[in-house]
Amino acid sequence: MTGSDNPYAGSFGTQMTASASFGQPAPAAASDGDLIKETTTANFTKDVLDASRQQPVLVDFWAPWCGPCKQLTPVIEKVVTEAAGRVKLVKMNIDDHPSIAGQLGIQSIPAVIAFVGGRPVDGFMGAVPESQIKQFIEKIAGPAVDDSKAEIEAVLADAKALIDAGDAQNAAGLYGAVLQADPENVVAIAGMVDCMIALGQVAEAREALSGLPEDLAKDAGIAAIGKKLDQIEEARKLGDPNEFERRLAANPDDHEARVLLAKIRNVEGDRTAAADHLLTVMKRDRAFDDDGARRELLAFFEVWGPKDPATIAARRKLSSILFS
């Protein structure tokens, strides 16, 4: 699925008020000129020692007559550029500025010394291959972090908090932004469909799910949203909840009325009442509908999720019934 055929993109049109972008260069990202520079003996303290207190600095000691230096230069510059600011590269011509190399005991070039916190911490000599330079940078600066992935995860967490707080409109905006960047993000797909449900767009939600590729539709989170839709569509056909309340007032052991009322309360969002009705049926008659109340409660849990407070509370009560 691509951005162009993403069924969720723009689903809420101008109603979406939140947006985000991912995988774009940071506004303050350093240019190649900031990452790679030549230095002198006079500027070494500023360019290397002071700079290394902010981020690791690799110092490449070289000379114009050095053949291996010429082999190393394009490779190390490429790797440093691709590291996108995790390290800097400072080049020092030892013919023009021999004193620093002498103080560090460098006897062969090319030699690359890494400085961190104002002092040398590691290094290598020779025209090593690109893979080794990448490993060296990872050792010095730590593994690369996928900033776009971390940003998407943060936006998804914000969207979940919004929908949990009842703000499906702005949650949909965030889920839509994620889907523009990653059209097959199953968490965002499930979240967007959940927003549609919360906004009363049940038919649109069903259509969105039915258009998913089979591999995405099998995801547990998306399957749970599908079951939530099933429960809503079923509850709409059950009738007037007031009638079931009257039946229970006349006969508290009318288990059929109690189960049907539980299904309605569930889709209304009163999860505690829905669970309590089913638990009451289990306490009074486990054999009713071949233990149907327990099966219905487990179906609720699957949609609510294992961490939902209503699931946790009802599971505790269920255990006391099953194992007392």
36, amino acid identity:
I
Instruction: Give yes or no for a contact between 169 and 17, defined as CB atoms under 8 angstroms apart.
Output: yes
268, amino acid identity:
E
DSSP letter assigned to residue 116: E
Question: Known catalytic residue: 195?
Answer: no
Catalytic residue among 48, 51, 69, 179: 69
Radius of gyration of the CA atoms of the chain, in A: 31
Catalytic residue among 16, 36, 48, 66: 66
258, amino acid identity:
R
Report the distance separating Cα 299 and Cα 289, nearest Å: 15
Helix (H, G, I), strand (E, B) or coil at 112: strand
Structure tokens that stand for 131 in this block: 């893979």
CA–chain centroid gap for 279, Å, is 36
Structure tokens that stand for 7 in this block: 């069924």
CA–chain centroid gap for 18, Å, is 17
Taken in order 133, 135, 136, 138, is the CA torsion positive or negative?
Answer: positive
Question: Known catalytic residue: 66?
Answer: yes
User: H/E/C letters for each residue in 168-209?
Assistant: HHHHHHHHHHHHHHCCCCHHHHHHHHHHHHHCCCHHHHHHHH
β-pair partners for 124: 112
Catalytic residue numbers, as ranges = 66, 69
